[in-house]
């Protein structure tokens, strides 16, 4: 009888400990959407000028509660009108360079969370809400040009439920091409790796669902 009692108590304690532990998940899948704007020869420094909409799919590989790799594929556009700017191009007096070019973006970013991200493991300092910074590399296809891009940005994520997340993600994607807007090197100035190139920014709201739980051998793992 004493042995049976010990087994029951041990099982109840194990269930209690597991209930207090949050499962960590290796993967996330979700959708994203939000405003986009372009910066280049037709818009040198105007944030959120000639805004268009962008959207796509995203996924994460959660390395641990402090780090993740985010993969995304998105569709948007770069839009502008050089005739509305203050720049005077030497070989285009009337400045009738307006454009709205479709864009496809595929990329990967490394995310570093300010705090461990999660729900339930408060003794480890995990938070349901955490900001993060990000940087990575991707590819842009726009205006019949394929180029590398370097995304840099930040965001904030919130765990609504154990497997459901929402977030706000901002990034500036610096391309290595000056052809996205169709206005290529109007000043005939030699360009550097990032100098005199086109870039675009995405402000994305996303929702994602956790997949593939990481099972632990014991509570202290």
Cα distance between residue 16 and residue 12, in whole Å = 6
> Which pLDDT score is estimated for 159?
95
Cα distance between residue 34 and residue 19, in whole Å = 37
| 168-194 residue pLDDT tens | 999 999 999 989 988 776 666 666 566
CA-nearest of 174, 173, 169 to 158 is: 169
CA-nearest of 221, 203, 105, 208 to 162 is: 208
DSSP code of residue 190 = -
For residues 2-26, give the mean pLDDT. Answer: 53
Structure tokens that stand for 103 in this block: 């864009």
For residues 20-30, give the mean pLDDT. Answer: 83
Q: Is the pLDDT of residue 212 over 50?
A: yes
CATH topology of domain 24-214: Porin (2.40.160)
- pTM, full prediction: 0.81
Cα end-to-end distance, the chain, whole Å = 33
Domain boundaries, the chain: 24-214
For residues 194-212, give the mean pLDDT. Answer: 92
Structure tokens that stand for 93 in this block: 């007096």
Cα distance between residue 131 and residue 21, in whole Å = 23
DSSP code of residue 47 = T
- pLDDT higher at 7 or 152: 152
Cα distance between residue 153 and residue 197, in whole Å = 18
Between CA 185 and CA 191, with CA 186 as vertex, the angle to 5 degrees is 30
| 53-78 residue pLDDT tens | 999 999 999 999 999 999 999 999 99
**Structure confidence at residue 119 as a pLDDT band (50, 70, 90):** confident
Structure tokens that stand for 104 in this block: 């496809």
Distances from the Cα of 156 to the Cαs of 127, 170, 184, in angstroms?
A: 12, 9, 36
Determine the 3-state secondary structure of 12 from DSSP.
helix
204 pairs with which residues across the strands?
Answer: 169
> Which pLDDT score is estimated for 95?
53
- pLDDT higher at 104 or 179: 104
């Amino acid at each position: 009888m004493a042995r049976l009692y010990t087994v029951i108590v041990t099982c109840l304690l194990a269930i209690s400990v597991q209930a207090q532990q949050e499962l960590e998940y290796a993967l996330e899948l979700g959708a994203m959407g939000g405003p986009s704007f372009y910066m280049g020869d037709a818009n040198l420094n105007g944030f959120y000028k000639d805004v268009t909409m962008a959207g796509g799919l995203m996924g994460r590989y959660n390395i641990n509660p402090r780090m993740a790799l985010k993969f995304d594929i998105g569709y948007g556009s770069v839009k502008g009108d050089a005739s509305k700017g203050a720049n005077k191009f030497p070989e285009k007096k009337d400045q009738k360079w307006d454009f709205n070019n479709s864009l496809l973006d595929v990329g990967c970013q490394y995310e570093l969370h300010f705090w461990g991200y999660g729900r339930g493991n408060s003794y480890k300092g995990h938070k349901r809400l955490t900001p993060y910074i990000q940087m990575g590399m991707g590819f842009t296809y726009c205006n019949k040009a394929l180029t590398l891009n370097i995304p840099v940005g930040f965001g904030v994520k919130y765990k609504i439920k154990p497997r459901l997340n929402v977030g706000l993600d901002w990034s500036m994607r610096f391309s290595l091409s000056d052809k996205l807007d169709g206005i290529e090197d109007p000043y005939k100035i030699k360009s550097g790796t990032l100098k005199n190139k086109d870039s675009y920014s995405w402000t994305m709201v996303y929702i994602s669902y956790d997949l593939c739980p990481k099972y632990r051998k014991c509570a202290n793992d």
